[in-house]
Amino acid sequence: AGIRPEFIEQVRQKLASRTFEHYIGGQFVPGARGEVFETLDPATNRVLARVYRGHAEDIERAAQAAHGAFKTGWGRLKARERKKYLLKIASLIEKHGDELATIECLDAGQVLKIVRGQIARTAENFSFYADWAERAMDGRTYPVDAEWVYYTLRVPVGVCGIITPWNAPMMLSTWRIAPALAFGNTVILKPAEWSPLTAWKLAEIMQEADLPPGTFNVVQGFGEEAGAPLVAHPLVPLITLTGETTTGSIVMKNAADQLKRLSLELGGKSPAIIFEDADFERALDATIFQIYSFNGERCTANSRALVQESLLETFVSRVAERAARVKVGHPLDPETEVGPLIHPEHLERVLGYVRIGQEEGARLVVGGERVGSEGNYMRPALFVGENHMRIAQEEIFGPVLTVIPFKDEADALAKANDVKYGLAAYVWTRDVTRAHRMGLALDSGMTWINSHNVRHLPTPFGGVKFSGTHREGGEYSLEFYTELKCIAVPL
């Protein structure tokens, strides 16, 4: 369902009416240096809101608040109390769903249809981990010959630094905040500078939930100015970063001096592999959805479609026909399928790849041009190319699909794995054994067989090679956000 225009206008006015503060120690506070940055509305590139630009002083303040809360507040609460708070946060997210959705659409340019699903997931992240709060700290026992007993138990790590990208701010941040809090840690969130606003609303929700001060903190600002001091801060033993691969390696280097616990969820160039025995219509629908929905700004997008030679021309003409009809429009229009890209610089980068593809000899079948003169709109692009080309090797993070033909299974596998990334893969075939064989052999953290990306929260999420270093989700988050201790007792 759409959101009423009067409500959207009300939200816009609210966003224009103040400079958005950091949230530290349970209070909204201006930045220590008073500097401000602007976040743009990607539909117009006009200023949507002004936000304080954080620096090391703000991180210092947040680290002290979060550390204090860990030692004396949240860190001392009983698990069943933490569970109650998490459930309360989940229901407040639902209560403020329309406002959160409106802000996310206006700030990130993501379309309403998708954002509604993301807000539901955001609430679910908290309700899912609420259930873990009470049962998760169990350990194991290791009796030895009636002479010893060793046992393990889990304790929280402390202050968790959570650094997130601009594409899905609510969903990606809460996916870390919820387990971190459930297991008794406190949090400092550093949202991306291109879409900082739902983090402010989340802080307001935490305040409404009456979360003990210092449990959840937000420091806004740029990577080098606010992210880097968070990574370097001695009171923050854990960092989880979702972002570009190059950022991941910088953060890894910067965290090395203090041997921090790190989870890196990075870029991708995931293949959809479509064999001639596939359910063609389903493969077509899913592949289109996985590259053009979410404005193509999805880490697990199938930005390469590897298609068996005999299907190539049919596949290309069917995608072209659909891509030309995709409704590009305002993110808050419920009919819109592709909204504006996040920022004029990002649009330039994506259009730059369209030019690169043409220069390197790929066939541009449809799209790839700017739409209108206002905002960051473009027509979804479809290329037929080869796997060695830059458009097939580099993450574009926009609505650009490169179709690449393959001969047989061995050729498909070789091409699929011949990229530096390894986040996700999609295999379309009716041959059951081949599907499993591919699942095993593909360089990917996650493989979906005959399906688009359907996330199940207990399962591990993450990539191999340059796509990341860790897994989060279910018990994998428990491992990451807790310390495992072993205690030995002679009997």
Q: Which of 181, 266, 306, 362 binds ligand NAD (CB under 6 A)?
A: 266
The site map against ligand NAD for 52-91 (x = CB under 6 A) is ----------------------------------------
Q: Among 21, 99, 225, 265, which one carries the catalytic annotation? A: 265
Q: Within a 10 A sphere around the Cβ of 216, how many other Cβ atoms?
A: 30
Residue 414 CB burial class (10 angstroms; 0-12, 13-18, ≥19):
exposed
User: Using CB under 6 A, which of 73, 75, 169, 243 touches ligand NAD?
Assistant: 243
**Residue 31 vs 267, nearer CB to ligand NAD:** 267
Q: Does 103 bind ligand NAD (CB under 6 A)?
A: no
**Amino acid present at 419:** V
Tokens found for residue 424 = 């996700």
Per CB under 6 A, 268 contacts ligand NAD: yes
Q: Is 108 helix (H, G, I), strand (E, B) or coil?
A: helix
Minimum gap (Å) between residue 194 Cβ and ligand NAD = 7
User: Strands, E, within 110-260: which ranges?
Assistant: 141-144, 148-156, 159-163, 186-190, 216-218, 238-242
Judged by CB under 6 A, does residue 267 bind ligand NAD? Answer: yes
Q: Which of 478, 312, 288 is nearest to 386 (CA)?
A: 312
Supply the minimum distance, in Å, between the C-beta of residue 424 and ligand NAD: 9
- Could you confirm whether 147 is annotated as catalytic? no
In angstroms, rounded to a whole number, what is the distance separating the alpha carbons of residues 467 and 463? 5
Under a CB-based contact definition with an 8 Å cutoff, are residues 357 and 364 in contact? yes
Q: Are 221 and 19 in contact (CB under 8 A)?
A: no
Query: Which of the residues 388 through 417 are near ligand NAD (CB under 6 A)?
Result: 395, 397
Asked if 231 is part of the footprint of ligand NAD (rule: CB under 6 A), the reply reads: yes
Site string for ligand NAD, 426-465 (x = CB under 6 A): -------------------------------------x--
Q: Which spans in 73-96 are helix H?
A: 79-95
Nearer to ligand NAD, 265 or 337 (CB): 265
Q: Which residues of 182-215 are buried (b: 16+ CB within 10 A; e: fewer)?
A: bbbbbbbbbbbbbbbbbbbbbbebbbebebbbbb
In angstroms, give the least distance from the CB of 265 to ligand NAD. 3
> Judged by CB under 6 A, does residue 107 bind ligand NAD?
no
**Of 177, 180, 278, 299, which one interacts with ligand NAD (CB under 6 A)?**
299
Q: Quick check: 227 binds ligand NAD (CB under 6 A)?
A: yes
Residue 418 parent element (H or E): none
Active site residue ranges? 265
